[in-house]
Amino acid sequence: MKKIYITLLAACGLMACTGDLDQQPKTDSQTTAEVVYGSEENYKKALAKLYASFVIVGQEQGGGNEDISSNNGHDFLRGYFNLQECPTDEVAGTWLSGDKIEGLTYMTWDANDPWVADTYYRAYYTIALCNEFLSHATPSAVANSSELKAFRAEARFLRALAYYYVLDLFGQGPFVDETMGVGSYTPECYSNSQLFTFIESELKDITADGLLGSPEYARASKAAAWALLAKLYLNAEVYDAGDHYTDCITCCKQVMGADYVLENDYSKLFNADNHKRTNEIIFPFVVDGENTVSWGATTYIVCGECGNSSSQDPAKYGLTSGWGMFRVRGELPALFAGNETADKRYMFYTDGQDQWLNKAIDDQNQGFFGEKFSNLNDAGEAASNTGAVGACIDYPVFRLADVYLMLAESVLRGGSGSSLTEARDVVNLIRRRAFGSTAGDINEGQLTLQFILDERARELYWECCRRTDLIRYGQFTGGSYKWQWKGGVVDGRATESKYNVYPIPTAELSANPNMKNPNY
């Protein structure tokens, strides 16, 4: 059983600052801030809560003593996965009403969607935690300790990451930092370009001064900040921040110069020993069957991908049982056409399953189940009892293959600092890993933007990239690309451009008059 390298501690005395009836984190702790921040050791424990806030919902096993009340009672990662994957061609939801994902599945959500609200407030809960931490880890408080200085930089990174999720999902959001304190005030609404500027500034500042080059596992490094900057720059035009493809290439090259290499075995990036893949995984969310027990996070993904009414054997993936929560829409395996056997990323369970969803999207006989995530360790043993304590699989947030693909796309979009030859070469490194040989190599003429979009799907499916990628390519909404059940009809239909961003939740609009949903 792997251990989390940063001990968890309940955050004390934190107030959510985003409205919704002034949500107050639930805690029985009466520990004062003076005690929590009274030693370097305790600073580290408090910092751990910031990291854990992306994958747990409370202070007890399985989400007991929850941090904030929510519609579904699940963690940020489960909500983020649903928002990034369920509306796309990569996921076919099964429990539409039971899991409240009809709106996401059919791209018909509104400002009352429970998953939209939960993901929004979970992101802002992390921001509130980071602000609380930073209000104590001030520049003067950390000036004489390199360790505390790194802690402060990490908290700023995690806040920037949470704000990035707000930017990418909602295109706007209330802005609060550690200087604003806790109290009854109405946060200003930041536009997408304002959020972009803030995130960019924070990440550039902490990579120049604060973040470590090689911290202990699962803590944010300079490379993690460069990877997030690259993601920010790749999508800058979507965020009304202009052309930043050259900046994206610069950040990709910085990551590439930090001694990362591709893992030889693609499947090992998603198994229960993937904490050993620090050669490729730049930054993960840690999920552990002992210290961060969750029925969301990667437990949701690995149990959800395994059928509960098919011949798929849960034990093959180190599971106690399959949940059958989702399958893939037929368009995803179609991207591997002709290479189903050769390409090792083709990790779908097809026995007894129809590829296409011609009857109903929630018909479990239609759509292939997944095999990408596994709760088995390298020795082929179950790492944890998923029925009792959940999965033991870390979630790769940033990894080198994504960086290679971002560089290649930025070259094709006109960025400077690399070349078409280098772009082809790094893409072929990914494909040689996938094919186990040079059989899948492409030439420069085959390296097109559409090829990159398709290759990103083949390489990164279920890694919370697809919605963002399709938006950047102008293929998420509208009718230029239709997939089965897009818009709620079997053959797909054109959808309104308003669905390129999620709405600010209704409760937030009531609490903060600065927020508006002009398109909803």
Torsion of CA 228, 232, 235, 240, to 10 degrees: 170
Q: What is the pLDDT of residue 222?
A: 97
Q: What is the pLDDT of residue 22?
A: 40
Which of helix, strand or coil describes residue 41? helix
Q: How far apart are the first and last CA of the chain?
A: 47
pLDDT digits (tens, 9 = 90+) for 315-372: 999 999 999 999 999 999 999 999 999 999 999 999 999 999 999 999 999 999 999 9
**Interatomic CA distance for residues 454 and 24, integer angstroms:** 43
pLDDT digits (tens, 9 = 90+) for 431-467: 999 999 999 999 999 999 999 999 999 999 999 999 9
Cα 493 from chain centre: 27
**Interatomic CA distance for residues 62 and 339, integer angstroms:** 40
**Interatomic CA distance for residues 106 and 72, integer angstroms:** 19
Query: Phi and psi for 191 in degrees, rounded to 5?
Result: -75, 175
Do the Cβ atoms of 262 and 281 come closer than 8 Å?
no
Burial of 485 (0-12, 13-18, 19+ CB in 10 A): buried
Q: What is the pLDDT of residue 3?
A: 41
State the helix-helix crossing angle for 76-85 and 297-304, rounded to 10 degrees: 50
58 pairs with which residues across the strands?
A: 66
Place of tokens 């989702």: 326
Q: Is the dihedral of CA 239, 159, 251, 206 positive or negative?
A: positive
CATH class of the domain whose range is 1-215+477-520: mainly alpha
Three-state secondary structure string covering 74-140: CCHHHHHHHHHHCCCCCCEECCCCCCCCHHHHHCCCCCCCHHHHHHHHHHHHHHHHHHHHHHHCCHH
- pTM confidence score: 0.94
Do the Cβ atoms of 175 and 195 come closer than 8 Å?
yes
**Interatomic CA distance for residues 12 and 394, integer angstroms:** 26
What is the DSSP secondary structure assignment for residue 480, as one 8-state letter?
A: S
284 pairs with which residues across the strands?
A: 396
**Gyration radius of the chain's alpha carbons:** 22
Q: What is the pLDDT of residue 37?
A: 86
- Domain positions in the chain: 1-215+477-520, 287-393
Low-confidence residues of the chain: pLDDT under 70: 1-31, 61-63, 183
Query: 378: which 2 tokens?
Result: 């390298």
**Interatomic CA distance for residues 249 and 232, integer angstroms:** 12
Q: What is the pLDDT of residue 28?
A: 47
Place of tokens 């990877």: 227
Q: What is the pLDDT of residue 151?
A: 97
Of 28, 47, 29, which Cα lies nearest the Cα of 37?
47
Q: What is the pLDDT of residue 64?
A: 72
**Interatomic CA distance for residues 466 and 502, integer angstroms:** 15
Do the Cβ atoms of 333 and 368 come closer than 8 Å?
yes
**Other Cβ atoms closer than 10 A to 360:** 13
Instruction: Give the DSSP H or E segment for 203.
Output: helix 192-208
